Amino acid sequence: MCEPGFILAGISAGLSLVGGATQAQGIRAEAEATAQAEETRAELAERQKAVNQTQASYERRRTLGRLQRVQGQVRAAGAENGLAETGSLVDVLEANDLEAAEDLEATRFRSEGERDTLTYEAGAARRRASTSRQSGRTGAAGAILGGISGGVTTLGTAYSRYSAQN
């Protein structure tokens, strides 16, 4: 017949192993949820980057269209008043060209800055996802080893007590 101490030690060791496995599963699940959230954050940054590029292209076309309309109006007004495309009329056209070029450059600069920021954010989110998954694997392994260690310690203590009594 088995000693009651060995039975209790066996139950305790088994519970240590089950506890370690359960803890490991929880750690892995939490790490995976965090990783999925970071992957989603990366995907959203990539989508926003595409939206921003589309918006910048639209703003560029709109600026060029506005320039063409203004230039046409200036030319029409000049022709209506009998002005040749020289002198002050040319100055006005050149000023409009310069303003449109500055608007286009500002749009390009802002768009590139936003693109770079979103590219960085997407990469950082992917790195955090990878780190979370690795951390989950490491934490799960630690929990399993802790459970095994607890079980072995419990059995070892029970055996030591039994040996000392006999």
Interval 11-28: pLDDT, tens: 888 888 888 889 999 999
Residue 32: predicted pLDDT: 92
The pTM for the full model equals: 0.64
Angle between helices 4-80 and 88-165 (to 10 degrees): 180
Q: Domain-by-domain residue ranges, the chain? A: 4-165
Alpha carbons 101 and 107: distance in angstroms, whole number: 10
Residue 50 has pLDDT above 60, yes or no: yes
Q: Which of 25-34, 68-77, 139-148 has the lowest mean pLDDT?
A: 68-77
- Pair 121, 45: CB distance under 8 Å: yes
Query: HSE of 111 in the Cβ direction (CA atoms, 13 Å)?
Result: 17
Tens of pLDDT, residues 65-80 = 988 888 888 878 877 7
DSSP helix/strand/coil, 3:
coil
DSSP character string of 98-132: HHHHHHHHHHHHHHHHHHHHHHHHHHHHHHHHHHH
Q: Please report which confidence band the pLDDT of residue 161 belongs to, taking 50, 70 and 90 as the band edges.
A: confident
